[in-house]
Structure 1
């Protein structure tokens, strides 16, 4: 059990650092009022979970600890939807309904598409 906890902690730390660094760099470089950084990070995370789940379900063999590190730790921390919800809360309190619904629609629609693309990518490679 201790190894699993350490895998989650290590993956979570790396995922959080990746989310912060990547999201900040995207936001800084594009300088939009839309939270494009976390939007992009969530899409990348959705794509990666599609890839990994596909790999885990197919002929590739991974240890349980690696799965815990990647899915629960790294991706669980990378694709935090709490930031997504907080951004939407801010749009709501600012009465910016257009950005609120744009963020909800784009993140959910393209997130689902990226999961499907990740799964499809593994099927094509195999």
Structure 2
């Protein structure tokens, strides 16, 4: 039962963080390009890369952290479905260049962010 509570708490925190980060970025940079979702996705990639690597290498850390952070928090914080919807909406609006830039940028930068987070996890004692 404890793991479900941890997932729920992590999910609640991830949902709140997703809304706050996404809306803060969108409020500063506008909504023509979905900067808020892009930043949320990239930070989620760093966090999951770091947490899965770091927690996987540290047997002394409680498994509870695996339920709280990568499953709960990142599960709610990550916005891949929103990314797909915004790409489709941008294409439907006729902005094919922006849609392609967003889709490719999210993929390439997201992969780099996961790799960077994983490297950070490997560097930690």
TM-score (norm 2): 0.92
Distance 1:71 1:102, change over 3 A: same
RMSD: 1.4
Contact 2:40 2:79 in 1 (8 A): no
Stretches of structure 2 lacking an aligned partner (at least 5 in a row): none
Structure 2 counterpart of 1:46: 45
1:83-122 equivalences in 2 (<5 Å): 83-122=82-121
SS in 2 for 1:33: coil
Q: Is residue 3 from structure 1 mapped to residue 18 from structure 2 by the alignment?
A: no
Output the CA distance in 2 between the equivalents of 1:122 and 1:70.
14
Stretches of structure 1 lacking an aligned partner (at least 5 in a row): none
TM-score (norm 1): 0.91
Contact 2:54 2:122 in 1 (8 A): no
- Number of equivalent positions: 125
Structure 2 counterpart of 1:71: 70
